[in-house]
Structure formats: structure tokens, C-alpha cells
Amino acid sequence: MTTKPVSVPVFSIEPVDALIDEPRRIVVSGLVPDERVAISARTLRGNGVEWMSQASFMADADGVVDLSRDAPVGGDYARVAPMGPVWSQQPVDGTSNEIFPIDVMVPLRTLLTVETVDGASADAELLQRFASVGIGRREIREDGLVGTLFTPAEPGPHPVVVVLNGSGGGINEPRAALLASRGYTAFALGYFKAPGLSPYITETPLEYLEAGLRYAHAKLAPKDGFVALSGQSRGGELALLLGATFPNLVSAVIAFVPGAMVHGAQGAGDPARGGWQGVTWTRNGEALPHLWDNNSAVHWHPWAGAVPPTRHHSVFFEGLKDTELAARARIPVEKIAGPVLLISGRDDRAWPSSLYSRMVVSTLRRHNHPHLVRHLDFDDAGHAINIPVVPSTQLTREHPVSKVPYTNGGTPAGNAAADVGSWRGVLEFLGEVTGTTGKLPNAPADT
């Protein structure tokens, strides 16, 4: 009588505990050859909301499943992806959008479980850290500024990066903490929807951001006077605008999915002060011209008529048809006095960041910009290009200010690849323009 083989699954994770941008190798051994197993991943994110993924695999002739080699045979993702169980997660409650912990000094913990058809199972845990050992965190409430400062563990001086969030507002602590872990003093500066600041982006004075840049130069001891700006979405628009407006204060610009124009307040606007078409930025008390200021080419509201995710993206292409207004609203990026890195997704459905980035590159080229200009444009990626490795499945979401649904675009796999590629591109760019070395995570085989 032949005894049926029995699985005794065992996880191997290398490394178990590391920065969130470090690639991992996840292997399950001890399986029966050709056995089908399910691997699930559960993580508590945001305000204690559980996110989960599950995928099925077929063990090889040695009874092994290696996520860096094996594609799932079914489940929440469908390609070879060592960290697929993490980036393919979705909230169990179906409504949460918050993928980061409340406290970025505490790692995210993901429970991995493998289950066989016969009921054998094993668990393992991996930890993703935003802040490595020795990183300092200090809330800034000085000179009217609201933000959080993260400092590297190693003695300075260090290059400084000022980190700006997008139209969701708030303070982008996760990206700043990770930058500090890679050797940069990172100042996550809030400019609306943060303690003591306006809940809306409407009529944000550039003087406030200028004060933040001056603070960075005067108080943060930047190495060789280097202070870069990194901004996402509206923050990317703002980073380009600040670089052009205060070129003596900005050493380099990193613009994620940016606008090449000044736009109206849009989804982050105060309904009592113009809403979508309200003024976003002011200088010396005067409104900066923007693309929705009596635009002659746009005769419909992107949030009226059809379902908002369907129409939202098109309004930007329509808006650019008013060429006179577009010329007035254009950010004069040729005034930037340093290197520029642009990051975009070719399937950005929130606004055309790929087109906008190409417009910036073209303008800089025509003006013989003397500094490094680089554009990373990712296939199958949308508007929500983030840090690695976090869930990339929220293709349509509710805007955190207006509460109106909109579409980010991209595919989960494409967005995950852009998260990894853009982050590595940022670190390589900063290394080149500051002369720093040894700050890169290990190169991933894939995501």
C-alpha cells in the first residue's frame, strides 16, 4: 500500500525585517510535488483596517514555490512578482484608502499564510519599515510652518529634501521618513489640511512655501546648501512653480505626476471660494492665472453629467485648447536653476501627467537648460505612483477633500512597477546631483 505524501510547509523570507523599499525573497518549501497551495497576505493599515490578498500556486517537482520565479495560477495577481502578495492587497471592508500606518516610526506587519488542499498550513511575518534604526522625527511648528522633520542616523550635514503632498493635503511623512533612511534630511511640509492650516488648497500663498524653503536653508544645515523639492500631483505642480518662482532657494525639483500649468483649486477647493474654479496659488496677495479662469474651451464641469471618473480626465485636454489662457497659466519652468526629475504614468486618468511632463522637458530643451533633466514615464501606470511596496489596487477612489470619486488609472501591476522604478529613479537622481553614494536599496528582480 502506497502512503500518500504529506506536506509540511515552511516559509523562508529574506529579509524578514527591512525598509519598505528593500526587495524580499519569499519561498515555501516542504510541499508535495505539483501540489496546489494558496498564499494569503494580511496587513493592518491606516486606522486598523485589514488589507488582504490571496493567490494560488503550483509547487515544482521539489515541492517548492518561489515567488521570485513562479507566477500564480489564480488569485489577486497574475505575474511573477516577489512582492505580489503585498501590492495586490485590497481592503477587506472595501472602502478604506489609507495604505500607510498612523505612526511611520512603527513598521507595517504582514502575516503570510500558506494553505494546502489537504489542510496543512504555515504562517510567517514580514516587516516593512519607513524609518531605519536611529532616524529622528520632530514635528515642526515654527515660523508659522507646519510639518515634520526626519533626520538620518548618521552625522550630517546631509542634503535636504522638502516633501510636498498633493491635493489630499496633509503631511507626507512616509516618503520623508524613507528619504531620511536613505541619507537625506527630509522636511515634510504641510500647506493645507494640516494642523492650524486651511482645510482647502484655495488661495494658498506662495510666501508660506517660500518661508519653508528659507527655513530649510537657515535651520536644517543643508550640505553644500542643497535643498531640493519633491512634490506629488498638485505638489508636483507646486514644486515646479516654486522652482521657477524662487530659483535661488531650490537646488533641484522632483515632480511626481505633475501639472505643467497652474490649475484652479479643483477637488481640493473651498466650495465657498469658487470650488473647482477657485484660485489655488497667490503671490503678494494676487491670484496666479490658472487654467479654469474663464476658460473659453471648456463648457462642461468634469463632475457633472456622466459618472465623474469617466469625464474627469478629458477636461484637461479640453482646457488646453484655450491656448491664450494656457500660455498665461503655464509654469515658466525655464526659470528653474537646477536639475529636474519628472515622473509620470502613461495611463494617468486623473490628469495627463505624461503630456505635462513632456511639455516641461520640451520647454527646458528649447531654453537650453544647463542642468540635468530626466523624465521617467511608466507604462500601465496611473496617477497614484507611490513608494514601494504598498497596495497599488485603488484605481478608482473618493477624493479626500471633495469626496467625489475619480479614477487614478493604470493597472495594479503597472502601478506597482512604477512605484519601485520611480523610487529607485529618485534615489539615483539625488545621488547624481548631490554626489552621494551607497544610498540605494538592493536592486529588485521584479516587483
* Residue ranges of E strands in 349-440: 373-378, 396-398, 405-407
Given the residues 348, 353, 357, 392, select the one marked as catalytic. 348
Q: Which of 423, 398, 248 is nearest to 338 (CA)?
A: 248
Given the residues 53, 181, 230, 233, select the one marked as catalytic. 233
- Cell numbers 486606522: residue: 47
Cβ pair 161, 228 in contact under 8 A: yes
- The gap from C-alpha 24 to its chain's centroid, in whole angstroms, comes to 20
Q: What would the grid cell of residue 204 be?
A: 494658498
What is the C-alpha separation between 39 and 75, in angstroms, rounded? Answer: 9
Mark whether 392 is an active-site residue. no
Q: Is 323 helix (H, G, I), strand (E, B) or coil?
A: helix
Backbone angles phi, psi at 315, to 5 degrees: -65, -30
CA distance from start to end of the chain:
45
Q: At residue 257, what is the residue type?
A: V
Q: Which of 234, 265, 147, 267 is nearest to 195 (CA)?
A: 147
Q: At residue 189, what is the residue type?
A: L
Q: What would the grid cell of residue 404 be?
A: 467625489
Backbone angles phi, psi at 368, to 5 degrees: 55, 50
Given the residues 383, 392, 402, 419, select the one marked as catalytic. 383
Q: Which of 84, 29, 25 is nearest to 59 (CA)?
A: 29
- Distances, alpha carbon 181 to alpha carbons 144, 219, 253, 431, in Å: 27, 20, 20, 14
* Residue ranges of E strands in 277-419: 281-283, 286-287, 340-345, 373-378, 396-398, 405-407
Mark whether 348 is an active-site residue. yes
Q: Which of 111, 124, 108, 166 is nearest to 11 (CA)?
A: 124
109 CB contacts (<8 Å, ≥6 apart)?
43, 44, 125, 126, 127
What is the C-alpha separation between 344 and 136, in angstroms, rounded? Answer: 31
Helix (H) or strand (E) holding 427: helix 412-434
Mark whether 383 is an active-site residue. yes
Q: What would the grid cell of residue 46 be?
A: 491606516
Q: Which residues are catalytic?
A: 233, 348, 383
